[in-house]
Amino acid sequence: MNKNLLDNVVWDLIDRNADYKSVEDAMMALMRPFGVEVVSCVEIRSPSRNSNPFVGRLIGKRDGEWLTRYRKEELHKHDVALKTVSQSQEGFSWSHAETRVITPEEQRVFDIAREHWVSDGFLVPFFGPDGRIGFTGFYGDRICDDPVTRRLFNFAGLSFYRYAYSKALQEKAAESPEIELTDRQTQVLYWISKGKTDTEMAEIMNISPATVNRHVEMAKERICVRSRTEAVHYALIHNLISAS
């Protein structure tokens, strides 16, 4: 990736956790020269219903009729691109996904998409440490598909997904009722954020590893999440533990 792309303002805005409008405008300004008209972030699997604050984000040229048809006709059931996301470790082109079409129903998804604004695209999978799966999609009539652009899409896709997901967590946190944790629950989440194991926390806190795990599980239950990662993220956002 060349220096001009790496110096683009969008990366600084994402690092500063800037507002959606600023990041979206900068992202589209960066991507339009590569044929991108739409950028979407979509979560296709979350660890639990309670831990699902992020549904999706769509920026750029919008086509409400396409989205309505996609939902109403349940096209996701035959969307090969969605299936390919969960099986791919790196980004892939829309045309690559279409080569995996087997049934008429699967081909129909691509045909209907072309009637709207999705004639070409590039999808970047996202795999969270808690089992969460999603992707960032870049779409347009004709997307650039050279090695340098692919690297840009992969980098931008992961960066924008993390940004959008983090923003969604913050919005959920602002709407959620305040949750109080015990001192022990706060302590274990703090030490987890520092990478400590249950055994190491037990030595630090002078309790057994089993007791450490019990405090962790109680904290997760109180916050209504399934993973330690989400519990720590929640605690950091709500200033229940310090990042330092």
- Give 140-174 pLDDT, tens digit per residue: 888 988 988 999 999 999 999 888 888 877 776 66
- For residues 143-160, one letter each, b for 16 or more C-beta atoms within 10 angstroms of the residue's C-beta and e for the rest, the string is bbbeeebbebbbbbbbbb
Q: pLDDT at position 42, please?
A: 84
Per-residue pLDDT averaged across 211-238, rounded? Answer: 88
pLDDT at position 20 over 60: yes
pLDDT tens, residue by residue, 74-93? 888 899 998 899 888 889 99
Q: pLDDT at position 50, please?
A: 47
Q: pLDDT at position 52, please?
A: 47
Mean pLDDT (the chain) is 84
Full-prediction pTM beyond 0.75?
no
Per-residue pLDDT averaged across 31-48, rounded? Answer: 83
The most confident of the ranges 91-95, 131-135, 226-230 is 91-95
Q: pLDDT at position 170, please?
A: 75
Share of the chain above pLDDT 70, in %: 88
Q: In terms of pLDDT, which residue wins out, 53 or 236?
A: 236
**Domains in the chain, CATH or no CATH each:** 3-172 (3.30.450.80), 176-237 (1.10.10.10)
**Which stretch of 29-38, 57-66, 125-134, 234-243 has the lowest confidence by average pLDDT?**
57-66
pLDDT at position 129 over 70: no
46 — pLDDT class (breaks 50, 70, 90) = low
